[in-house]
Structure 1
Amino acid sequence: MRYKLPIRKLQVVAAAFLLSTGLAAAQQGTVKGTVKDGQEVLPGASIFVQGSGAGVLTGSDGTFSLPLPAGTHIVNASFTGLAPEQQSVTVRDGETIEVNFDLKTTSLNELVVLGSRGEPRSQLDTPVPVDVIDVKNLVRDVGQVNLNQILNYVAPSFNSNTQVLGDGTDHIDPASLRGLGPDQVLVLINGKRRHTTSLININGTFGKGSVGTDLNAIPTSSIKRIEILRDGASAQYGSDAIAGVINIILEDNVNELRASITAGGFVSKNSEGGIDGETVQANANYGLAIGSKGGFFNLAGSFDFRNPTNRMKEFTGVIFSDYNNPALFPAPTGADITNAELQRRGLTRSDFNSRIGQASARGGAISFNSVIPLDNAAEIYAFGGLNYRHGESAAFRRTPSQLTQNIAEIYPLGYLPLIGTDNYDQSFATGIRGKVGQWNADLSNTFGRNQIDFTTSSSLNASLLKASPTRFTDGGYRFAQNTTNLDLNRNFDNVLSGLNVAFGAEHRYENYQIIQGEEKSWGDYGRAVQVGVDATGKDILIPSLTGNVFTLKAANGGNYAGGAQAFPGFRPENAINVSRTSVGLYTDLALNITQSWLMDGALRFENYSDFGSTLNWKLSTRYKIGENFAIRAAASTGFRAPSLHQRYFSATSSLFVDGQIIQSGTFTNESRPAQLLGIPELKQETSINYSAGFTGSFGKFKVTVDGYYVRIDNRIIYTGQFSGSNAATASPQDREIFQLLSQANAQTARFFANAIDTETKGIDAVLTYSERFGKSRFRADLSGTFVKTNIVGNVKASPLLAGKESTYFDPASRIYLESAVPRVKSNLTLSYNIGKFGAFLRNVYFGPVDAATNVEADAQTFGSKIITDLSLSYDISTSVRFTLGANNLLDVYPDETIGGNRGAGYFVYSRTGQQFGFNGRFAFARLSLTL
């Protein structure tokens, strides 16, 4: 329910004048009442008036009394762990108005819109599991400041971590639901499909080869709550909803200003200088009422600042070879003289460290949500936002010994390349909904766009020798999506105990682009083509960026590397501009056979312009036993269309693979290398999903338990690295691959392919208990997930790949799918409030994970850990709250790496097997304001 702004402003001004002249008593009234939680009173509940600083706390008997100026006011009541409530009251001169509040717990009683095309249902009534996360209240206590990390610690089935040395992936954290891929969960905003990012994850991170949604582009101050549907829902919502759906509900409050500023940093045993990774985030939210029928305009914004961290201790590889000191070694052989040369120069190995930790980031976001009521119970709505983030991540340091990648006249001691990203995100949705006859109708259009531009600095193009610049514009990505929906539903009360009929249509347009970088960012100026022989027998060479003759040699005889080191720009042949459309039709029937028994069925047909059609179904049921217990089950099929990124992405990038830095090229499935290996065009992934469970509410104790099984066929993978050969004994196939890779300035080739089938089995459980002790309030939440994904059957490879299956789907890729994120994760959260004081304690158990490696000797499992978060809060007034706390209070780190997983000292902690990151303890302080 929404309320209009205070009216008759002249009366308010006049009242203020009379107050100043001593006549206030004649212009005031009183609001009094009781705040309860069901039958129990709530001492210490906050009562405040929007738009003013007026407020009080309830006494030991749960009552309050608040004097207010004459006029209309919106009075709010809130208590930690309970859903806030507001009421509009009109106070007259000298009168006392009684206003009582009955606050409800948010667990299981919260209405959710996910999983149903009809009226919202309570969590107890849904036939599939839906988590509801009250972000507005949660962010007051936790130290995590971006949405991915907030969900990682509050929702056990959700996994996401800040990545390291993943280029653009360092700034867009891949996220997983139920152990499946980032592109197998659908994200909605206010029930409308959110666009994905333009970035495809191609480096050594979880979610390799996938395209996810950038949740961090959405300011947390704009979010009212988040619904997570943990069940397949492609028949209802379309592609990508194999693992489930995340629906972000935007804030709709009015006449209330909420603002906060959070500052913190990593205060850890491994922090550089005692503290690093300093973070500042400022948030604000304010809403205005529009008219008197519930219209509103809510505006939110945020500013983020994050410094980098480094957890590398000492570089153990070769820094100087005898080529770096020709005075001592007139006939160098490449021998390692690092220790002697460091001593002679007065340097240490740590002076040549890379930066292994979180990237730096700066940015801001603005978001709005609005509804304008019309006549005849119709309304126009709109929401959207803008986000900009500039990030800077470090690549692997190039040392003086890497002669083909360094020019000593520019960088005598080597250099640390920096990869800059400028990430722009825009979205806008608008629609009209209301009654068409007896049907509820909703017509909407949602547009979203993401743009990422790359620069490489503190680098060089070695093939330009001393003429090389040190900063390059590398090009970037673009992705745009426009979705038009028409949804209708109607409830028929006279069919058994009620039938809801829903149907609709969707049209979606997608466009994907790769923008070429400047020539110096990708060109190899040491190449030429031979066009003949002169009279003396000398080759006649003409410079060519794609030639097969190398003319520039380093002192060790190697070819000088072309392109910007660490992140070569996109070549002309990489640049693309492709589009596709899809059309979907669905119907959804929800039949209440009795007051206790619900049956729900959905059917969806979808046609894509680039790969054809798909038909999917879903059946679900729920049976209530009494008023407080229900059993439920569901079965469905699903699909995920291959993204345009996976179909058309091509580029060359620097990779760290089993201790070596190599240049790896990604080629499309229509390319000649793909044809040589028999890699077919991409087609859709298909799935079948089964789930069953129960949910109950027993007074102060609430529980949900659900088991599930997901089978995915033709799952798209990002292959291992194929390398050709120019040896005399090489096959014609390998010779041609070698030549094609050489032209692309690459040593290996990778592709996207429908190569495997997988099975995922798991159990999710959520338990909640709340209790009041005198003037205090206690709440406990225990939740956990147990999930296992396995490859089933043989790898699907063409006859041309005979003998290369272990490269096509390599062991590291298998680990990324099966065990690079925790299979077991649980969360115990305790909150306690008494008067103005509050305490929040959370322990999260992260199960073991494996290192993704292709070297059997480096196989490693990182053991389980428990991370403790603690925060203490104090209400300075009804409007101001101060919170002090720490994430990872006990400064826990993952197990250290061994062997090749450590590289040349780069990775003390794994970047491939991710549990909770490796930055250590984060201490923070937050000041929150509510007016």
Structure 2
Amino acid sequence: MQSFLPAYRRIVCFLLLLSLVAAVRAQNGTLQVSVTDGKSPLAGATVQIAKINRGGYTNADGRYNTSLAPGTYDVAASFVGFTLQTKPVTITAGQTTNLDFVLEAGTTLNTLVVLGSRNLPRSQTATPVPVDVIDIKRIIGDAPQVSVNQLLNYIAPSFASGTQTVADGTDHIDPASLRGLGPDQVLVLINGKRRHNTAIVNVNGTFGRGSVGTDMNSIPTSSIDRIEILRDGAAAQYGSDAIAGVINIILKSSVNRLNVNVTAGGNVSSKAEDNLDGQTVQTGINYGIPLGERGGYINIGGSYDYRNYTNRSGPWVGTVYKAPNGSDKTDSFLNANNITRDDIHMRAGQSRLRSGQLFLNSSIPFDNGAEFYFFGGLGYRNGQAAGVYRLPGDSRNVLDIYPLGFLPEIHSDIYDKSLAFGIRGNLGKWKADLSNTYGQNQFIFRVVNSLNASLEKASPTRFNAGGPTFTQNTTNLDFSRRFDVLEGLDIGFGAEHRFERYQLTPGDVNSYTDYGRARKIGVGQDGKDILVPDPQGNINTRFGPDGTARAGGAQVFPGFRPENAVNATRSAIAGYVDIEANFTDAFLMGIAGRFENYNDFGSTVNGKLTARYKLSKNTSLRGSVSTGFRAPSLHQRFYSNTSTLFVDGVPYEVGTFTNDSRPAQLLGIPKLKPEKSVAASAGFTGTFGKFTATVDGYFTRINDRIVYTDQFQGSNRPDAPENDRILYDLLRNANASAAAFFANAINTETKGLDVVLTYGTKVGAGNFRVDLASTFTKTQQVGPIKSSERLKGKENIYFSQTSRIYLEKTVPRVKLNLSLNYSIGKFNAFLRNVYFGAVDEATNNQAFMQEYEGKIVTDLTLGYKINKAIKLSIGSNNLLDVYPDKVANIANTTNGQFLYSRRVTQFGYNGRFVFARVELNL
């Protein structure tokens, strides 16, 4: 009954709003807008009607229709890469008025955007905060990249994302950063509605360690029209996670147009196996169907991705096989099996991937100007990543199963589904929007080409290791209106309810059980111990070829155990007010406030103040100050992954414990609380003929930032320091020997500068455009580490040097992007150089410390339109086959396997990628 009531209330609300909207009718006129580039219609162009809260996007025919009350209006039209135009129009009751726009090629900073304001859209140079607009439907035809994260990594100046290697599930979920902050400090929206997070928490050795991000690669690029990136703290407007900014993915709405995009390629590199690996094929399809006679539509986009792994590891360095007496018998072993060291190696590079995604976007207008809308998608991804090679004579191997050792693999099954629906329209002079957004991400770990060594030759080689599921449901009611006060007063307000569920499902019994354990129940007549098998016993009974005890559980990724299972929920309610006042035509000021209450940690209030002042018609100063917050995720509160180790014959737990566990209580680890931020930004925008520039500096301080600690261990040695002996006793009392936690451990400050310059002009009979985008950022820990009282003196474990480097120096602090685009007739050329700045090795070992120098990566694409329907392109990412610096210390390469750093990546180490692309537009 309790689960039924919320759904019942939402249905009643929808019916009520529908009836109210249907009751509002007036004798209006119709405005019909046409937008072209002089040759063909521009589908997806933005149309905005000034002085009222009304606007939208053109359909496949480049048209936009709306019903308006009689009167005179200023109408603006824009499209990425074209100059914004504004025209007046007079609407007469009962009549249709046509308004035609012919846009001219120009800079990329003239597009109208709504992100950052719930009121009237403005051009990018007129917004009080910086917003990038990425025209995905156009970029996807030129860029070598095919996934959302990698497209943005090479286009957006302050966005960073790299493909990880040998990092368990993180191999398939690329952590992303905005302005150098964490993956969980940027909020992702789709069509302006909150997107759910992934189910996986990143606890491995990569950037974003301890964070929970959003999987944008689960959205097919074929369904995306454009992406807006708000580079400013916006938690006061949009809620939790928006400390670094907001990414809004806008889906396509075109109809009667079939688009098929097939990209095929591979890594043709001197360091690839046989000079070619990483073969990739992506097929994207999009088609829209008109609904009714009022401009309704349903647009469907899907993709299928096929990507093979790359391998940049070297041959195994050091001992491959030892005799039982410990002597090195590598050469005789290799000769006897007719193999070389090249046959004993890992896979260090991108993982293998198979992926299918389907998304839809729909709107059904009513005759009174209201509309019912829905969008969502289904996706499945199978990723295959390898671990560290298990050598043949290792106790973790069983020679009867793998005579030459084995390379275990983690196969990840990732399921993603979402659905948002709502109704919006006018209630009197107010614009209203009632919506509900549901999303779920499920991550299932399977271990393949492995074994449970404690089962010896009876072991299976495939395991289901379990995994997490995250579900989120958000209900919103929003109102906005423009008042004819001063030069325009825009007011928006609304409420939100969000429900979240985090579940962790255990794996199969043989994925985590140690079958080589036993316990003593007595002594036999022969004087020998009587043992009975017991996975929790303290006696090892099975040993490997090297004489050490067999390990239990699936090799490379032991399954989640029943005691790790969790089914946790929480809910939050919020209310906000967003006001913008145009005091004069030159001076705009906005203020926003938001209250949120979570049932697991309480309430928070945040605010934001923005301003923009036009120095002239084409130049402005802008700035903002704000407070923000990020609620600790349910993953960080309830994730645990433990295993059993034996100390002096006594079993103890080792791993990650929740903050309400007994180890956390005894060690004084407090419950998690929200991260709190204070941010400020200031910038200049200017348009000088065909040249446009934006320059924005920013500062963000985050207090009580949540980190994932290293493992705490004590010692009972006679010469151990007193605090180590105390810690040892505390852990023993908690039945643990080593423990890691999530904790609000540090404060950080981030400072930076973003510069975006664009120039567009006619060169001969063609169009030429130059884009230069750059970011300079620095994040650092400030103040002391906030350790618990019982762990004073253990600050280097609370927040280690490795964790600090992950936070401060594993994302390039400098990134420069210079793009040149020229099109003439049926031919176009795209050339881009991206400078990825220096990064540092994340390590606690001073001998392994290393700075990897900045590198320039060059992309080139040449395209030719065979006819109106077919376009062919060829090109390359990393045309010059550039690689990061190699790891300098051979001892930091895991026996020569990681020639390039596994902990930090600027742009990956796959080398040159060569591709061909066919686009079909009908």
1: distance between equivalents of 2:304 and 2:545? Answer: 49
2: distance between equivalents of 1:912 and 1:602? Answer: 40
Which residue matches 2:358?
A: 366
Cα displacement string for residues 340-360 of structure 1 (whole angstroms, at most 9, x for unaligned residues): 432444321111101111111
By how many angstroms is 1:270 displaced?
Answer: 0.6
Distance 1:143 1:652, change over 3 A: farther
Question: How do residues 217-366 of structure 1 correspond to structure 2 at under 5 angstroms?
Answer: 217-323=218-324, 332=325, 334-366=326-358
By how many angstroms is 1:668 displaced?
Answer: 1.0
State the TM-score, normalizing by the size of structure 2.
0.87
Instruction: Classify the secondary structure of the residue corresponding to 1:573.
Output: helix
Instruction: Classify the secondary structure of the residue corresponding to 1:604.
Output: strand
Which residue matches 2:650?
A: none
By how many angstroms is 1:832 displaced?
Answer: 0.9
Report how many residues are paired: 836
CA contact (8 A) 1:741 1:748 kept: no
Question: How do residues 722-761 of structure 1 correspond to structure 2 at under 5 angstroms?
Answer: 722-725=712-715, 731=725, 733-734=727-728, 737=731, 748-761=738-751
By how many angstroms is 1:777 displaced?
Answer: 1.3
Cα displacement string for residues 339-396 of structure 1 (whole angstroms, at most 9, x for unaligned residues): 3432444321111101111111111111111110113211101000111111111111
Cα displacement string for residues 497-550 of structure 1 (whole angstroms, at most 9, x for unaligned residues): 111111110000000000010000000112233445556664444332222332
CA contact (8 A) 2:666 2:734 kept: no
CA contact (8 A) 1:262 1:282 kept: yes
Which residue matches 1:608?
A: 598
Matched, 1:393 2:385: yes
Cα displacement string for residues 198-239 of structure 1 (whole angstroms, at most 9, x for unaligned residues): 011111111111000000000001111110000000000000
By how many angstroms is 1:102 displaced?
Answer: 2.9
Matched, 1:635 2:625: yes
Which residue matches 2:153?
A: 152
Question: How do residues 625-664 of structure 1 correspond to structure 2 at under 5 angstroms?
Answer: 625-652=615-642
By how many angstroms is 1:917 displaced?
Answer: 0.2
Distance 1:820 1:79, change over 3 A: closer
1: distance between equivalents of 2:80 and 2:367? Answer: 38
Matched, 1:505 2:491: no
* One-letter amino acid matched to 2:731: I
1: distance between equivalents of 2:718 and 2:451? Answer: 34
1: distance between equivalents of 2:320 and 2:716? Answer: 30
CA contact (8 A) 1:189 1:250 kept: yes
Distance 1:555 1:388, change over 3 A: closer
Distance 1:434 1:75, change over 3 A: closer
Question: How do residues 662-701 of structure 1 correspond to structure 2 at under 5 angstroms?
Answer: 665-701=655-691
CA contact (8 A) 1:430 1:446 kept: yes
Distance 1:319 1:201, change over 3 A: same
Instruction: Classify the secondary structure of the residue corresponding to 1:877.
Output: coil
Distance 1:534 1:35, change over 3 A: closer
* One-letter amino acid matched to 1:561: A
Instruction: Classify the secondary structure of the residue corresponding to 2:138.
Output: helix
Distance 1:162 1:821, change over 3 A: same
Instruction: Classify the secondary structure of the residue corresponding to 2:703.
Output: strand
CA contact (8 A) 1:252 1:369 kept: yes
Instruction: Classify the secondary structure of the residue corresponding to 1:141.
Output: coil
Instruction: Classify the secondary structure of the residue corresponding to 1:463.
Output: helix
Cα displacement string for residues 690-745 of structure 1 (whole angstroms, at most 9, x for unaligned residues): 00001111120000000000000000001112234465777364256369777xxx
Question: Does 766-775 or 339-348 show the bigger shift?
Answer: 339-348
1: distance between equivalents of 2:126 and 2:349? Answer: 44
* One-letter amino acid matched to 1:714: D
State the TM-score, normalizing by the size of structure 1.
0.87
1: distance between equivalents of 2:78 and 2:901? Answer: 43
Which residue matches 1:198?
A: 199
Distance 1:570 1:178, change over 3 A: same
Distance 1:548 1:407, change over 3 A: same
CA contact (8 A) 1:171 1:359 kept: yes
Cα displacement string for residues 396-440 of structure 1 (whole angstroms, at most 9, x for unaligned residues): 11002322x111111111111011111100000000011112111
Which residue matches 1:765?
A: 755
* One-letter amino acid matched to 1:677: L
Question: How do residues 107-118 of structure 1 correspond to structure 2 at under 5 angstroms?
Answer: 107-118=108-119
CA contact (8 A) 2:83 2:103 kept: no
1: distance between equivalents of 2:288 and 2:301? Answer: 9
1: distance between equivalents of 2:704 and 2:440? Answer: 29
By how many angstroms is 1:192 displaced?
Answer: 0.3
Cα displacement string for residues 848-882 of structure 1 (whole angstroms, at most 9, x for unaligned residues): 00000110011000001000000101110111111
Work out the percentage of aligned pairs sharing the same amino acid. 57
Distance 1:583 1:75, change over 3 A: closer
Question: How do residues 509-908 of structure 1 correspond to structure 2 at under 5 angstroms?
Answer: 509-533=499-523, 538-652=528-642, 665-725=655-715, 731=725, 733-734=727-728, 737=731, 748-899=738-889, 900-908=891-899
Which residue matches 2:9?
A: none
Matched, 1:473 2:464: yes
By how many angstroms is 1:114 displaced?
Answer: 0.7
Which residue matches 2:422?
A: 431
Instruction: Classify the secondary structure of the residue corresponding to 2:562.
Output: coil
CA contact (8 A) 1:853 1:901 kept: no
By how many angstroms is 1:552 displaced?
Answer: 2.3
Which residue matches 1:164?
A: 165
Distance 1:219 1:912, change over 3 A: same
Distance 1:78 1:623, change over 3 A: closer
2: distance between equivalents of 1:739 and 1:614? Answer: 36
2: distance between equivalents of 1:78 and 1:276? Answer: 42
CA contact (8 A) 1:46 1:78 kept: no
2: distance between equivalents of 1:49 and 1:774? Answer: 23
CA contact (8 A) 2:84 2:111 kept: no
2: distance between equivalents of 1:240 and 1:625? Answer: 34
Question: Does 73-82 or 899-908 show the bigger shift?
Answer: 73-82
Question: Does 895-904 or 454-463 show the bigger shift?
Answer: 895-904
* One-letter amino acid matched to 1:297: I
Distance 1:372 1:682, change over 3 A: same
2: distance between equivalents of 1:906 and 1:814? Answer: 25
Structure 1 gaps of 5+ residues are: 1-33, 38-44, 51-71, 86-96, 324-331, 655-662
* One-letter amino acid matched to 1:909: Y
What's the C-alpha RMSD, in Å, of the aligned pairs? 2.5
Which residue matches 1:68?
A: none
By how many angstroms is 1:557 displaced?
Answer: 3.8
Cα displacement string for residues 439-476 of structure 1 (whole angstroms, at most 9, x for unaligned residues): 11100000000011111011111111111111111111
CA contact (8 A) 1:211 1:643 kept: yes
2: distance between equivalents of 1:75 and 1:756? Answer: 52
2: distance between equivalents of 1:854 and 1:153? Answer: 31
Matched, 1:450 2:441: yes
Instruction: Classify the secondary structure of the residue corresponding to 1:322.
Output: coil
